[in-house]
Amino acid sequence: MVKIDKTKCIGCGACQSICPEVFEMTDDNKVKIKSQKDVPCVKEAIESCPVDAIS
């Protein structure tokens, strides 16, 4: 299951650009999990998050 640590997330938007199927930015620059899909880009997004907020 994908989880975002909202206390760590800085709203950079990288996860959404890498994996828009799963991550969605809200209007206040927070990340929302759109769907719990088991797609390969989730792993990529985890690795690309600058503050390790995705697990």
Binding residues (CB under 6 A) for ligand SF4: these are: 4, 9-15, 31, 49-51, 53-54
The nearest distance, CB 6 to ligand SF4, in angstroms, is 9
Phi, psi of 33 (to 5 degrees): -85, 115
The nearest distance, CB 38 to ligand SF4, in angstroms, is 18
The nearest distance, CB 27 to ligand SF4, in angstroms, is 14
Neighbouring CB atoms inside 10 A of 6's CB total 10
What residue type is assigned to position 9 of the chain?
C
Identity of the residue, 8 or 38, whose beta carbon is nearer to ligand SF4 in the bound complex: 8
